[in-house]
Structure 1
Amino acid sequence: MVIFDCNGVLVDSEPLVAEVVSREFMRAGFALTPEIVARYFTGRRPADMFADVEIAAGRRLPPNFATVLTNEILKRFRADLRVTAHAAHALAWLRGPKCVASSSGIDRIRLSLETTGLLRFFEPFLFSASEVRHGKPAPDLFLHAAARMRVDARNCIVVEDSPVGVAAGVAAGMRVIGFAGGSHAGPAMLEQLRAAGANVVITDMRALKGTIIDLRGW
């Protein structure tokens, strides 16, 4: 089975998210730039991000912050979200079971895939880190997805774009493909994904099928 992260892998969302998250934190009186958001929170659950920010700032976020932020992200996605180049082609040729396991909430996952035309490849196999106790880099989400799909974790391949996501896949005992082809992925990302434990790193979705075939042969 192949388990896909959503943000930064299937959809080119990370720059949009960083902009919206930074703007809403600024409005709430928390000085987080898009660069800080991207550096420290890419791949992580919103709830974990909120907790870390509150601890660092020594004060609480507004009670409705999570709802406001989610609504603003969804609004931005409806207007500007784009599919990752060649993702649909790669998925069309990929045989065997597959699912999406993302740190985002299930509504955001579904909207992301609907907006970009990818939902047909995965519905109903969508899993959110809100369903498990610990978010990435803990292995909980990937192990949850494997259990729900009734596949042994050792027979799973994870496709991830963040070091915390790669670390989660490795901790789950799965083979991991690092993807550094999103618009947010600079030259340093390849080494960061390798350092986190990725078995292979690719920069183009057209390389996905061959890479998966190779990993299945290991």
Structure 2
Amino acid sequence: MDPRLPETDLVIFDCDGVLVDSEELSCRCLADAMVQIGIEMSTERALELFLGRSATALLDYCQGVGKPLPKTFLPELAVQVRETFRSQLKPIAGIAAVLGELHLPYCVASSSDLERVKFSLELTGLASSFGPRLYTSQMVKHGKPAPDLFLYAAGAMGAEPGRTLVIEDSVSGVMAAKAADMKVWGFIGGTHYRLADGSALLRQAGADRIFAAMNDFWNEG
């Protein structure tokens, strides 16, 4: 147990927007790819619709607007995102220090696929901090905002939901953590919140605390 985090046996970190500053980059790639196949989309709208969501949410949206995605769309998008990440992706400032000071078990639970999570963490130098403790929406039936992924991660780590703290940057992620009966802190330090009031969005979704810099992680326990 870490005395700075009372009644907490496990910390679950989302990946995109919490560990790596990827949300704006990936949604820009997504918006560009959707426009190319005739679906009107902007980076800002993509963030609003798909932030913290799995590929299933994207497929459902496109089906709903009468523009089902071609089979090549997701593989080609993954290549474009990887190329963009390789040249532009950076870790969230201060996250390495937080992980180094965290004296209790922690893991990742992400809506991204496992290969993308691994790639992002390796690219930003964070992979060694997590090892195999990576859980993704591919491993459960229902992605965020359903609680399945967080409950799966906590179970795999041997922690009770009520003694688990989740660090999330998306409305769907916060909702998923609350549905899992976990404490959740909303992080709004990613570049995708430059023009949006992330604090209001995440607090309305049920976040127990909001913070905007990893340097402030320990300011409240």
Structure 2 length as normaliser, TM-score?
0.93
Q: Identity of paired residues, percent?
A: 39
Letter in structure 1 aligned against 2:25: L
**Residue 30 of structure 2 is aligned to residue 27 of structure 1:** no
Letter in structure 2 aligned against 1:4: F
| Contact residue 6 and residue 109 of structure 1 kept, 8 A | yes
**Residue 99 of structure 2 is aligned to residue 91 of structure 1:** yes
Paired position in structure 2 for 1:104: 112
Paired position in structure 1 for 2:18: 9
**Deviation at 1:97?**
0.4
Aligned to 2:193, the other structure's residue is in SS state coil
Gaps of 5+ in 2: 1-9
Separation of aligned partners in 2, 1:209 and 1:47: 35
Aligned to 1:176, the other structure's residue is in SS state strand
| Contact residue 12 and residue 183 of structure 1 kept, 8 A | yes
**Deviation at 1:209?**
2.9
Letter in structure 2 aligned against 1:11: V
Separation of aligned partners in 1, 2:89 and 2:63: 29
Paired position in structure 1 for 2:82: 74
Question: Once the two structures are superposed, what CA deviation does each residue of 1:57-90 show, in whole Å capped at 9, x if it has no partner?
Answer: x132111111111111111111110010111111
Residues paired across the two proteins, number: 211
Paired position in structure 2 for 1:191: 200
Question: Once the two structures are superposed, what CA deviation does each residue of 1:92-138 show, in whole Å capped at 9, x if it has no partner?
Answer: 11111000000000000011111111111111100111111111111
Aligned to 2:197, the other structure's residue is in SS state helix
Gaps of 5+ in 1: none
Question: Once the two structures are superposed, what CA deviation does each residue of 1:130-188 show, in whole Å capped at 9, x if it has no partner?
Answer: 11111111101000101111111111000000111001000000000100111111451
Paired position in structure 1 for 2:57: 48
Aligned structure 1 segments of 4 or more residues deviating by more than 4 angstroms: none
Paired position in structure 2 for 1:206: 215
Aligned to 2:191, the other structure's residue is in SS state coil
| Contact residue 100 and residue 127 of structure 1 kept, 8 A | yes
Aligned to 1:9, the other structure's residue is in SS state coil
Aligned to 1:100, the other structure's residue is in SS state strand
**Residue 187 of structure 2 is aligned to residue 179 of structure 1:** yes
Structure 1 length as normaliser, TM-score?
0.94
Separation of aligned partners in 2, 1:45 and 1:10: 17
